[in-house]
Amino acid sequence: MKLDTVSMSVVGATIVLALSAGSASAQAKPKSQKRIPISKESGGEVAPRVDTVTVYRTDTMTVTKTMYRTDTVVKTMVRVDSVMLQPPAIPIRMPAGFYFGLAGGSTAPTGSIQTPNSIGYLGQAHLGWQNAKQFLGGRISGTYSGLGQDTQFSFGDNAQLWTLSTDLKLNLPLGHTFGMTPKLALYGIGGWTYTWFRNLPHRLDTPDNAPSVFVLGDNSWTGRNGWDAGGGLSLLWGRSEVFVESRVLGFSMSHSPSAQQVPIVFGFNWY
């Protein structure tokens, strides 16, 4: 704005000066009504006429105003990619480590205690260690058995047996039969036992072809070393395991064939 005003002022001043100079020249030129005679002189030259020309130079100054404008444009691009991601697979947690379990079922007497006793009941508690991905484990269990009586040998008190077992356990995984989480397994178990018993009628050793001889049980507790062997089927998931199991618990008494009981139990383990 200021440069445009200066330019107009300069142009205006130039025009005014030109007009003033022209007017002054016109006023300065002499005007006379008297005629001046002009004659040629003999033998001489005619005086030349001199015209005075005044040249006025007018300079016009043009001021150009250049304005530079910079516009900054920020372009923001938002890119949205739609990608279908598969959810991560949920890790399958299988039982591992120490566990505690309870079981119960029935038990059948065999061997030297079969005839004078009948099928009874059995309760079991155990503590063990097993890794679902390993074959070998271990277990310590305690059982209590109450056998029934045969009518021919009934004398009022049923036979009672306590058994402590320390066993090795061989685990054989069968895979995920019922889906990804539950895992089916077979296992074998066996080891050393110690059995306390009382009121247990049993058969004595007799020669071949001789009639069988039975004795009534003693009311006091008696203990004997023995063994056990068996197996089961288990279903594992999370920190839990259900199983069904059968074993043979055997021990020997003085002057008597081997006494055995065969429990069949259903149980539950917590890892």
Domain map (residue ranges) of the chain: 1-24+55-65, 97-270
Query: How many whole angstroms separate alpha carbon 5 and alpha carbon 65?
Result: 12
pLDDT at 254: 86
Q: What is the pLDDT of residues 9-43, one digit of tens each?
A: 555 555 655 555 455 444 545 554 555 555 545 45
How far from 111 is each of 9, 83, 232, 262, CA to CA, in Å? Answer: 140, 71, 22, 10
Fill in the amino acid letter for 76: T
pLDDT beyond 60 at 62: no
pLDDT at 151: 72
DSSP string, 2-66: HHHHHHHHHHHHHHHHHHHHHHHHHHHS----SPPP--PPTTSPPPPP---------PPP-----
pLDDT beyond 50 at 60: yes
Q: Which of 20-34, 142-156, 169-183 has the highest mean pLDDT?
A: 142-156
pLDDT at 24: 46
Query: How many whole angstroms separate alpha carbon 179 and alpha carbon 184?
Result: 10
CATH number of 97-270: 2.40.160.20
pLDDT at 100: 97
Q: What is the pLDDT of residues 243-263, one digit of tens each?
A: 999 999 999 998 899 999 999
* Between 204 and 5, the higher pLDDT residue: 204
pLDDT at 103: 98
* Between 149 and 30, the higher pLDDT residue: 149
* Between 135 and 168, the higher pLDDT residue: 168
pLDDT beyond 70 at 49: no
Closest CA to 199 of 169, 222, 182: 222
Q: What does the pLDDT average to over 70-77?
A: 62
* Between 122 and 153, the higher pLDDT residue: 122
pLDDT beyond 80 at 107: yes
For 246, the 3-state DSSP assignment is strand
